């Protein structure tokens, strides 16, 4: 298999998406990839973060997670983006990072890479699919190859989202089905990226 570099880049306020990102990183490593787990910078003002104890605690708990940079995107053959849904869209902190990528895009350095995404919302109909589809709009502009999980593993018939792993945070922390779905999604990304690299090399 061609070596595959995978960046898992995410935003998480209270830890749910962080947990999904860790599972995705685990799945990518298990599939043989070199993985960088990266959070995007927190953009909310300190008073907003401090207004919710679980938010402030998560910021402290993940202080050692490296923040994403443009070099991570350039390094990666494949990128999995994770975000909570905010009014049916990706969180503004993730969008703020994405909006710094213009120079890479202009140079064609984001084209031809594999992209995939995962999300969480507080309620069952809280905009999960629209958030994943909104990220797809960015991937189109980058000239990316979008790899969703589809129904390519039995766990997908339990988790139920072919667009990307998603979780209802109002039901509690992600359970094993959701975590396995994230691992499967990342593993599928690695497999398809490896196949694309092998085809290009040939």
Six-digit token string for 90 = 């990706």
Spatial separation of the C-alpha atoms in residues 120 and 110, rounded to whole Å:
25
Q: Collapse the DSSP code of 131 into the 3-class scheme (helix H, G, I; strand E, B; otherwise coil) and give the result.
A: helix
Q: What pLDDT digit, counting tens, does each position of 30-77 carry? A: 999 999 999 999 999 999 999 999 999 999 999 999 999 999 999 999
Distances (CA, A) of 1 to 4, 7, 111, 196: 8, 18, 21, 11
Q: What pLDDT digit, counting tens, does each position of 78-137 carry? A: 999 999 999 999 999 999 999 999 999 999 999 999 999 999 999 999 999 999 999 999
Spatial separation of the C-alpha atoms in residues 148 and 146, rounded to whole Å:
6
Q: Please give the domain boundaries of the chain with CATH numbers for all domains.
A: 5-201 (3.40.50.360)
């Amino acid at each position: 298999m061609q070596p595959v570099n995978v960046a898992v880049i995410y935003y998480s306020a209270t830890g749910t998406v962080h947990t999904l990102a860790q599972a995705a990183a685990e799945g990518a490593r298990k599939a043989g990839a070199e993985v960088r787990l990266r959070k995007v910078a927190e953009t909310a003002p300190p008073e907003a973060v401090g207004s919710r104890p679980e938010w402030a605690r998560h910021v402290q708990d993940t202080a050692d997670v490296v923040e994403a940079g443009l070099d991570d995107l350039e390094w990666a053959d494949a990128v999995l983006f994770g975000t909570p849904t905010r009014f049916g869209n990706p969180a503004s902190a993730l969008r703020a990072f994405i909006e710094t990528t213009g120079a890479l895009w202009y140079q064609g350095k984001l084209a031809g890479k594999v992209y995939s995404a995962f999300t969480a919302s507080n309620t069952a109909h809280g905009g999960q699919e629209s958030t994943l589809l909104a990220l797809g709009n960015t991937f189109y502009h980058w000239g990316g190859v979008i790899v969703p999980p589809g129904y390519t593993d039995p766990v997908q018939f339990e988790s139920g989202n072919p667009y990307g792993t998603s979780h209802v945070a109002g039901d509690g922390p992600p359970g094993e089905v959701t975590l396995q779905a994230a691992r499967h999604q990342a593993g599928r990304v690695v497999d398809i990226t490896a196949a694309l690299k092998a085809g290009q090399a040939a």
